[in-house]
Chain A
Amino acid sequence: MGESILIGGFWRALILIFTGDVRVYEAAFVSLWISCTATAIASALGLPLGFAVAVRRFRGRGFVITLLNTLLALPTVIVGLFVYTFIRRGTLFGPLDLLFSPGAMIVGQVILALPIAAALGQTAISSLDPAARETALTLGASPGRVILTTAWEARYGLLAAVAAAGGRLIGEVGVSMMLGGNIAHHTRNLTTAIALETSKGEFAVAMALGIILLVLALGLNFLLRRLQGRGEEPA
């Protein structure tokens, strides 16, 4: 039974992909743009936060690091619930009319990915040889340039942090379901579509969507790996 679903799903996936099935392409597109946008925002906020925690010495630093590491395992439904309570009608952000919109999904996913980008970014910078920063300093770099150079030297670790954040988002379902509402042609992405098809008993379609999701995740990681290996020009 299991094998037949898998094989059937694989063939179905190929058919859906090559026949240009609108539902599949729409869901894949929603998954991609929402997760990529959220990953970009979470990285833009989280990596500098991780950088600051790595290089600054302040009271409560240990607590911040522990908190970030704890938040790595943040359940998606908790984030969904948390954001939901703030954006539903009659609440603080209710007037923004975000609920069941791509915007709400992005907000939720940013909250989910931010600790990942920050915690792994902090690890990447902390594990870099301190001589990198000192060398930039003694060679006459301005404080801003020292930060850029340090980030450049830790680029493999930082890109790994971005990849981990992106990987977590493209595959998450809790936030998308609770905040996006799985509305067809609007907020339905690959994971919520899989949940829907499974509940309908359409295992093969669900499997096909799952395979497409995996291929997407694989493609994104290949892209990041290429970026990691590319270019030797410093920041």
Chain B
Amino acid sequence: MIEPSSNSLAVSARNLVRSYGGVPVLSLNEVTFTSERVHVIVGPNGAGKTTLLRLIAGIERPDRGELRILGRDPWEQSRRQALALRRRVGFAAQKPYLFRTSVRRNVEYPLRVRGVSGSKLEELAQASMKKLGVAHLAERNARTLSAGEAQRISIARATVTEPELLLLDEPLANIDPEGAPVIEELCRELESQGVTVIVATHVLEQAFRLSARVVRLEGGRMMPPAVENLLEGELIDAEEEAQAVLALEGGLRLDVATEQRGRARATIEPRDIVVSAESFRSSARNSLPGRVTKLEDRRGLVYVTADVGVPLVSIVTHQSFQELGITVGSGVVFTFKATAVRVF
């Protein structure tokens, strides 16, 4: 039994199974999404992302397992309670359905069904359309718009009621390049206002641009964290223009090859980190001494975790591992090129 656990969890699921025609498309042991944060579900097409969002939105019913939305099981509520719960959740589908009417009426719809009218209705709808950059389309027939415009309108419509939990399925799928920052900014703004946002995407870069809380879904199952060595820090100027320094909390500074500046997330592919007992001369810009904290044998490869100011993982072969002769607590140096740091 999953406890509602006050307000800390917006969504919690345990042993959740959803099948189509007897074939399970989603099978999750335990998944939780904390409140007031942006979460991203990343995975290829057909991974079960949409199914999970549809279950959370209450459009589909799980075959088995427990699912709690904002502390409640949506399928164990009275009609009135179920409606009240649905009204706390916003959902923008990957292929949005826009009603056969004007854009304005589409965005006003969730307000109208809640009994909002008059100037407040106009005000809220206008503000939402403006935020998504679609105010100029207000009087257009919603069925005559491009896929990108439809997606933005769908998001404006889902957010107009200021839901506590917002579900966005592939919000950037059809959005033009100029539209992407609008959605990213919206997610950040909503998070700062205490809204829980769950975004599904198949693009890893997008996932990390939106949040550091990324879960990976593949074949209907939750996989280990999407990437190893996820770092968050401030990109500041380096000596050369095409380079930057990623200043991490705790004082660690990494050389990075990017023109991007400001707050950013980055990852380092474990295979790109060279492990050595001592530092050596090379072209690699980052050489970090530290101590081994964990050694793991996974499918014939050794995962070496060392604390170099932050915990980083490298992968070495058994042969290299034996030649190095390292154990937990050994001193090592992790070396990698500035270009090995992938900035989002």
CB under 8 Å from chain A, chain B span 76-127: 79, 83, 86-87, 89-91, 93, 95-97, 99-102, 105, 109-110, 113-114
The answer for the CA separation of A153 and B90 in the assembled complex, in Å, is 21
Q: Which residues of A contact B100 (CB under 8 A)?
A: 152-153, 155, 232, 234
- A142 with B101: in contact, given A137-B58, A234-B109 (CB under 8 Å)? no
The answer for the CA separation of A176 and B101 in the assembled complex, in Å, is 41
Q: Which residues of A contact B105 (CB under 8 A)?
A: 232-234
Task: From A135, A138, A233, A234, name the one whose CB has the most chain B CB atoms within 10 angstroms.
Answer: A138
The answer for the CA separation of A134 and B141 in the assembled complex, in Å, is 20
Interface of A is mostly: helix
- Tell me the minimal C-beta distance from A55 to chain B in angstroms: 14
Are B113 and A141 touching (Cβ within 8 A)? yes
Q: Which residues of B contact A185 (CB under 8 A)?
A: none
The answer for the CA separation of A234 and B143 in the assembled complex, in Å, is 13
B86, closest chain A residue (CB): A140
Are B101 and A232 touching (Cβ within 8 A)? yes
The answer for the CA separation of A149 and B98 in the assembled complex, in Å, is 12
CB under 8 Å from chain A, chain B span 50-78: 57-59
Are B97 and A131 touching (Cβ within 8 A)? yes
Are B99 and A132 touching (Cβ within 8 A)? yes
- A138 with B58: in contact, given A131-B93, A232-B141 (CB under 8 Å)? yes
Partner of B86, one of A131, A135, A137, A233: A137
Number of chain B residues close to chain A: CB under 8 A: 27
Is A143's CB within 8 Å of the partner chain B?
A: yes
Bitwise, A136-176 to B at CB < 8 A (1) or not (0) is 11111111010001001101000000000000000000000
Partner of B97, one of A132, A143, A234: A132
- Tell me the minimal C-beta distance from B61 to chain A in angstroms: 13
Q: Which residues of B contact A233 (CB under 8 A)?
A: 101, 105
A155, closest chain B residue (CB): B100
Are B113 and A140 touching (Cβ within 8 A)? yes
Are A139 and B110 touching (Cβ within 8 A)? yes
- Tell me the minimal C-beta distance from A145 to chain B in angstroms: 5
Bitwise, B136-178 to A at CB < 8 A (1) or not (0) is 0000010000000000000001100100000000000000000
Bitwise, A196-235 to B at CB < 8 A (1) or not (0) is 0000000000000000000000000000000000001110
Is A21's CB within 8 Å of the partner chain B?
A: no
Q: Which residues of B contact A97 (CB under 8 A)?
A: none
- A140 with B91: in contact, given A132-B99, A135-B97, A233-B105 (CB under 8 Å)? no
- Tell me the minimal C-beta distance from B333 to chain A in angstroms: 53
A232, closest chain B residue (CB): B101
Are A134 and B110 touching (Cβ within 8 A)? no
- Tell me the minimal C-beta distance from A69 to chain B in angstroms: 27
- A140 with B99: in contact, given A131-B93, A134-B59, A232-B141 (CB under 8 Å)? no
Are B93 and A140 touching (Cβ within 8 A)? no
- Tell me the minimal C-beta distance from A156 to chain B in angstroms: 9
The answer for the CA separation of A71 and B95 in the assembled complex, in Å, is 38
CB under 8 Å from chain B, chain A span 109-142: 129, 131-132, 134-142
Q: Which residues of B contact A149 (CB under 8 A)?
A: 99
The answer for the CA separation of A70 and B219 in the assembled complex, in Å, is 45
Q: Which residues of B contact A232 (CB under 8 A)?
A: 100-102, 105, 141
- A139 with B93: in contact, given A132-B99, A149-B99, A233-B101 (CB under 8 Å)? no
B114, closest chain A residue (CB): A140
Are B113 and A145 touching (Cβ within 8 A)? yes
- A140 with B83: in contact, given A153-B100, A232-B100, A234-B109 (CB under 8 Å)? yes
Are A139 and B109 touching (Cβ within 8 A)? yes
- Tell me the minimal C-beta distance from A224 to chain B in angstroms: 17
The answer for the CA separation of A141 and B109 in the assembled complex, in Å, is 9
Binding site for B on A (CB under 8 A): 129, 131-132, 134-143, 145, 149, 152-153, 155, 232-234
Beyond the given A135-B96, A140-B161, please list 20 additional residue pairs across the A-B interface where CB-CB is below 8 A.
A131-B95, A132-B97, A132-B99, A134-B59, A136-B113, A137-B58, A137-B86, A138-B57, A138-B86, A138-B91, A139-B158, A140-B110, A140-B113, A141-B109, A141-B113, A153-B100, A155-B100, A232-B101, A233-B101, A234-B100
Binding site for A on B (CB under 8 A): 57-59, 79, 83, 86-87, 89-91, 93, 95-97, 99-102, 105, 109-110, 113-114, 141, 157-158, 161
| CB pairs A–B below 8 angstroms (15 shown) | A129-B97, A135-B99, A136-B109, A137-B58, A137-B59, A138-B59, A138-B89, A138-B93, A139-B113, A140-B110, A140-B161, A143-B79, A152-B100, A153-B99, A232-B102
- Across chains A and B, which 5 residue pairs bring their CB atoms closest together, nearest first? A131-B97, A140-B87, A138-B91, A139-B110, A135-B97
